A and B are shown apart, each in its own frame.
Chain A
Amino acid sequence: MKHKNLWAKLALFLLIAVVVLSGCTGKYGNEATSGNAGTNNSGDTSGENTDDAPAANENFDENVFNFATNQDIPQLDPHGSAANTSFRVTYMLYDRLVTYEGSSTEPKPMLAESWDISDDNKTYTFHLREDAKFHDGTPVTAEAVKYSFTRAIDVNKSAAGIFKKVIDKDSFEIVDDHTIKITLKKPFGPFIKTLGTVFANILNPNLAENHGDDLGESYIADKEVGSGPYILESWDRGQKLVLKANPDYWGEKPTMETINVIIVPEPSTARLMLEKGEIDMIDNTMISPEVLKQMDGKNGVKVVKSAGYQIDYMPMNMTSGALADKKVRQAIAHSINYDALLESVYLGEADRIGGAVPDGMFGFNPDAKLYDYDLDKAKKLLEEAGYAEGLKLEIAISENNEVRKNTALLLQSDLAKVGVELEIKTYAWPTFLDLVTTGKHNFGLVSWTPDYPDPDYNLWYFGHSSSKGPGFNLAFYENKKVDELLETARASTNEDERAAAYKEIQDIMAEEVPYIFVAQPYVQAPLRDWVKGYEINPMNTWYVPFNKITKAQ
């Protein structure tokens, strides 16, 4: 007879169990969030539930930094990865010959104490510091430098993109353990700048023992062989990656003991965790401008903003019908209400620019022609081009991006006023990428951040005829003069000469309008107000200086 209402009893039991268990732990999120059980000191978490008093948030731990991102970390091979979410980690695990710090885009000495450049601008001699050691204790030598760049080229993935053009396996000459000569195939002005990027991380040559048949790509995908301020402690894929400060670091002692990079796929959840104090900072690409506005200054959260080198732009495919005509492209440029766009889509958190070189970077041309919002001029230009009775065009965008979607909608209504019917086509990212690089689009909307802070980067991709299509010259733009100027500027190390060439290129491109540069948005990072010393790097917007940041309530 006893088991008659077994079901009901079981259900009741489960409910009770749930209530009791949750009661047991209680005060969730008031426990100190720390990297491991050992440091979970019950002494600091005594007392009653006080979660409404931000001044004494008990999630606070000055030695642990919790960073949330929704971008899963695919892998950690510095030469194979093309994902910002990996860069953020590898930049801390590895050192480079030179590096970028804080908000500066000037390369600073790191593993290389100094360097000399030969008169023909081809040979660079680097003097390495002698006290730097890899995490396994072996010293960082000239051999490691040679090994790292050779492997970058051989792996032939993201890192090879920059270096393959300028160096090969014969470019290196080891003078002694701490001196190396690198001879370029041809002069390359921005060379030193490229050495501070994630792709120029220096790897321990011991990796060669684990090369297998893929140069160690699968071996190193979840390990590190660096000499940087942090050591990879653990990594539960899809959940959490933990970095520990390197106790034997040759340089300045890293401030944060433990870094937890936590994967939080849902922005709303991340926001709650930040407001609760369980995380210190959210990936700046995760939260839309509207939500950032709501978050700023409330619940212990502040939003730090600063100009970045990202540019949002619209390529006009010059091989697709009407857009081949310069007058049509100029007409389009005149029919966009730029002020309204910056105000309504970016909520004012962006600037307008005239060219492919972002404001703040060397070579920026402040005088590049800006097209004003002038519908009469636009109509007249269209008429001259023979499209008086209107025109039908398509704009391709990739899905899941609020800003691009809203920009496209605004463009649609703007262009309608001059008789251009714009159809918005939304594609999944792989499809979008395929479409625009094979030239099947009229317009597209793309965001772009350079990998090294030099106009050579953006302008070569956008303007050089060899970059058409897959090289990301999505306008399929070709101009002999521009090609020539790009090549001269690249080969020179004379900054004045280079700046002049880049200005001229920007003027030519402003006149011919292969692209419309929609905006240069600010980087906006939501973080706890107890985080001190965080500076946004305009180029490496993913960069969080975990080794310099401090926390103070």
Chain B
Amino acid sequence: MDALRYVFKRILLMIPILIGISILTFFISNTIPGDPARLILGPKATPDGIEELREEMGLNDPLYVQYGRYVNGIFHGDLGESTYSQQPVIDDLERYFPATLELTLFAMLITVLIGIPFGVISASKKDKLPDQFTRVFALLGVAMPAFWLGLLFLLLFYLKLGILPGSGRLDNGVSPPDMITGMYTVDALLTGNMVAFKSALIHLILPGITQAAVTIGMITRMTRSSMLEVLQSDYIRTAQAKGGSENRVLYGHALRNGIMPVITLLGMTFGHALGGSVLVESVFSWPGLGKYAVNAITYLDFPAVMGVTLLIALLFITVNLIIDTMYHLIDPRLKYN
């Protein structure tokens, strides 16, 4: 019961946070000098055309009136219409967001599957060869700019070796699976479309690894230091004294305690990856939210800017909530409050 009440309370708390974010975004983006109407009409527009469009778009109303209109729209499920694409923002988000989410989830999966074992190995073999190896690996991942790494991967795997595709989400000639979640791999699996699944997965590899490179490094290092601390503690010595095998002590006893700070970091990086994947998306022509968001700002497409910001904020908060709930699952001693 405590758990449910805790989650419910946290969900209620989201409302003021989102309102705050929406106010900030709305007013800050409106302080950018420039005229959205002029940008829609292009440099060759006539002054009276611009004025008429401003009136039509309601840009001549005071900001608080415009904000009120926006919030009112949200309550009717309407995020406004993108001035750039002429499409409802909600449709645009539905179109671009799943691509970003899919890439981010895939990158996080790689991160967890590689980063945590590497960290544990590194800690258990402190200062030995495996530790040195993972240290260099982690440093390389963190130090190499994603953009540059992506181009290197393209040169090697796409141009020279020709074993992996260089851009997009699917091969030319493969049609997307029926839309359920918008994440091609998931949809293809759900509909049993193996051709699309294979194509979508292959296309995820290079951008996924590029995106994961940085986070793998961070997670490895964090797991290592957290594990080192845990491995010093009395209960580990007891476990070892009782004759538990090395793997059982490491993964069964130590990791459970050692993983707490890693989970926090995972939550943070997930949120960061969602909003910050624009460079990776750009190198691999990944049609995600990043490019959409950049376009939205360039063209002062306020409804789109608002939509993207609110969506990312909502996800960030939700992920944090999930992480916080996970603490309690992993460490039952924690109290809900």
Contacts and interface: CB of A to CB of B under 8 A. Distances in A.
B251 A7 contact: yes
Nearest to A451: B44
A507 interface: no
B42 A272 contact: no
B46 A161 contact: yes
B259 to A, nearest CB: 11
Interface string B46-90: 110110110000000000000000000000000001001111000
B248 interface: yes
Nearest to B155: A272
A494 interface: no
Contacts, number: 211
B49 A157 contact: yes
Interface stretch (A35-43, A141-149, A180-188, A534-542): A35-43
B53 A80 contact: no
A264 B163 contact: no
Contact of A218 (B33, B81, B285): B81
Contacts of B202: 21-22, 25
A10 B46 contact: no
A507 B234 CA distance: 92
A421 interface: no
A201 interface: no
Interface stretch (B7-15, B18-26, B109-117, B132-140): B109-117
Interface in A27-81: 27-31, 33-37, 39-40, 49, 51, 72, 74-75, 77, 80
B297 to A, nearest CB: 8
A51 B36 CA distance: 47
Interface string A435-460: 10100000000100001000000000
Contacts of B36: 430
Given A74-B86, A430-B33, A157 B40 contact: yes
B interface, over-half SS: helix
Q: Looking at A7, A10, A21, A236, which has the most chain B CB atoms within 10 Å of its CB?
A: A7
Interface in A265-324: 265-266, 268-269, 272-273, 275-276, 278
A428 interface: yes
A370 interface: no
Interface stretch (A237-245, A336-344, A354-362): A237-245
B152 to A, nearest CB: 11
A238 B292 contact: yes
A263 interface: yes
Given A239-B169, A272-B158, A433 B38 contact: yes
B117 A11 contact: yes
Nearest to A428: B298
Interface string A411-443: 000000000000000001111011101000000
Given A238-B292, A269-B154, A28 B163 contact: yes
B332 interface: no
B306 to A, nearest CB: 16
Contacts of A461: 44
A472 B43 CA distance: 7
Interface in B150-179: 151, 154-155, 158-159, 162-169, 171-176
A212 interface: no
A236 B287 contact: yes
A469 B38 CA distance: 12
B329 interface: no
B295 A156 contact: no
B32 interface: yes
Most chain B CB within a 10 A radius of its CB, from A24, A37, A265: A265
Contact of B166 (A10, A269, A472): A269
Interface size grouping (class) on chain A: 35 or more
A434 B85 contact: no
Contacts of B248: 4
A471 interface: yes
A431 B36 CA distance: 10
A23 interface: yes
A547 B179 CA distance: 33
A470 B45 contact: yes
Of listed A6, A14, A82, residue having the most chain B CB within 10 A: A82
Contacts of B114: 11, 14
A392 B117 CA distance: 62
B205 A22 contact: yes
Contacts of A40: 173
A160 interface: yes
A158 B41 contact: yes
A125 interface: no
Interface string A66-106: 00000010110100101100000000000000000000000
A74 B175 CA distance: 22
A10 B113 contact: yes
A72 B295 CA distance: 9
A8 interface: yes
A529 interface: no
Contact of B45 (A30, A158, A429, A435): A158
B86 A221 contact: yes
Given A4-B248, A5-B251, A472-B44, A430 B87 contact: no
B162 A49 contact: yes
B158 A29 contact: yes
Q: Which of A31, A74, A221 counts the most B-chain CB atoms under 10 A from its CB? A: A74
Interface string A386-430: 000000000000000000000000000000000000000000111
A273 B45 contact: no
Contacts of B205: 18, 21-22
Contacts of A83: 42
B327 interface: no
19 contacts: A4-B248, A7-B117, A24-B198, A28-B164, A29-B162, A35-B173, A36-B175, A161-B45, A238-B287, A238-B292, A264-B285, A265-B281, A272-B158, A429-B34, A430-B35, A430-B298, A433-B35, A433-B38, A472-B43
Q: Give the 4 A-B residue pairs with the shortest CB-CB distance, closest first.
A: A430-B34, A82-B42, A238-B287, A221-B86
Interface of B: 32-36, 38-47, 49-50, 52-53, 81, 84-87, 92, 95-96, 109-110, 113-114, 116-117, 120-121, 151, 154-155, 158-159, 162-169, 171-176, 198, 201-202, 205, 245, 247-248, 251-252, 281-285, 287, 291-292, 295, 298-300
